[in-house]
Amino acid sequence: MDRGRLTGALRRIWRVIRMSPGSLGGRLLALTIVFVLASAMVIFFPSAANFRNSWLNERANAAHLAAIAAELAEDNLSEEAVRELLAGADAMAVARIAGGATELVLGADTGDAPLLDEDQTRRRPFREMAAVIGAFTAPPDRLIVLTAIPQTRPDERILVILPEAPLREALIGFSIRLFWFALFSSLVTGALIYLALLFLFVGPMQRLSLAMTRFQENPSDARRVLAPGERRDEIGQAERALAAMQADILSAIRQRERLASLGLAVARINHDLRNVFASAQLVSDRLAMSEDARTAAMGQRLVRAIGRGIRLCSDVLEYGRTGETRPELTAISLAPLLDEIAAELLPAGSGIDWDNAIASDLAVTGDRDSLYRLFSNLVRNAAAAMSGQEGARLSVSVQESGGKALIRLADTGPGIPERVQARLFEPFSSGGGAGSTGLGLSIARELAGLMEGSITLTSTGPEGTEFLVTLKGVD
């Protein structure tokens, strides 16, 4: 790595380390330090107990050497020499236990100070750890009566009386050194773990987060799509999944823009076509009224063809307007509205019997124009299905349940083909035969949803088809 890249990497590491404690990296570093310090606290008491045992053993060995020196000197030791030997062992008195008898080798006055018996001939870990706490809380003048095994005479015991204050000071120094060591170890360990996870986890996660934020700001910009790396772990899988999702969203946005442009173009074309069809309809009406039978027949066929073209343009324009505004919901009398639709779409002489079984005072919650368009599509489809059928009948009834009006519209047509039923409410999936755009039922379902209702196909077959329209009742 060259100097420039190394400097950049170090600066990046420093910026991340300086992050707020609320960030993922800051929490990771803080938790690592806390865990290492906690582990140091767990091992403090066993370590302190071992340190205390070592300190006491060293004093016992020093006292044993002082006792040997006193024995060799026999009665030639002065009081000053005795004090020096005891001071070298940090002891106040030294006795030897052999053959069940205790023999004082070196001694000094201990006064009335409190005593603590410490038997180093038997190891008791929990008692030793408790003695560490006792060393910090004991009176400052307490003395330790230490029983130990001399290194050179394992068959004897040595008894040493020594002040506890030096041991307390040694334990305090040990605790301070252990604390600083634990703190240094936690910082080093935390930094190493942090830096390792920074490059393996935190950094890639920040890259993912930044990629999502940049893409959210402008999802139509292809340059903001994440370029996934070659990692094969969970981070790599997340990068590839995010890149695929962003690519799908970008494709959907572009497709939506193309469809919007196409829809605008279709709307303009439809507008112009309707003007063309309107002019052609005037000519075809005159041809249909011609006194020549052949000319009149051709004129009538032309009128029907132009009528289908006009309906096609109207349906496409109507479908494009359905999502523009939400309807204003009010109380609407349903029976008169349905009779008005039937009078327009099922005129006298159509051969279709209209049966409205809805009470005249029944009202539903909806928008009048939206309800008119919804039921017009259903009635128009039913009329087209029963065209030319003898005994054709279209009936409507209602049932109130749970604050809703369940409106059933049933015809006696030949039924809807099975291949059409699965996509019946999708745009441009026509089941109405030639001249149908396949938009009527799609528009009807969207209008019902805007009025907090629904429309479903309940049954169809050779005996007829029934639709169920669910609308809110009037409170």
User: What is d(CA 206, CA 305) in angstroms, rounded to the nearest whole number?
Assistant: 63
In this prediction, residue 465 carries a pLDDT of 93
In this prediction, residue 166 carries a pLDDT of 87
| CATH code reported for the domain at 327-473 | 3.30.565.10
Q: DSSP letter string over 408-431?
A: EEEE-S----HHHHTTTTSTT---
463 HSE (CA, 13 A, CB side): 1
Domain boundaries, the chain: 3-187, 234-308, 327-473
In this prediction, residue 244 carries a pLDDT of 84
Cα–Cα distances (Å) from 8 to 12, 188, 218, in that order, read 6, 22, 29
In this prediction, residue 385 carries a pLDDT of 86
Residues paired with 163 in a beta bridge: 143
Q: DSSP letter string over 239-270?
A: HHHHHHHHHHHHHHHHHHHHHHHHHHHHHHHH
Instruction: Show the low-confidence residues of the chain (pLDDT under 70).
Output: 1-26, 28, 70-83, 85-86, 88-89, 98-111, 152, 202, 259-288, 290, 296, 298-325, 427-439
Instruction: Dig out the tokens for 469 from the structure.
Output: 């329209």
User: What is d(CA 173, CA 181) in angstroms, rounded to the nearest whole number?
Assistant: 12
User: What is d(CA 84, CA 66) in angstroms, rounded to the nearest whole number?
Assistant: 9
User: Is the Cβ–Cβ distance between 159 and 96 less than 8 Å?
Assistant: yes
In this prediction, residue 242 carries a pLDDT of 81
User: Is the Cβ–Cβ distance between 23 and 206 less than 8 Å?
Assistant: no
Geometric angle at alpha carbon 118, from 112 and 124, rounded to 5°: 150
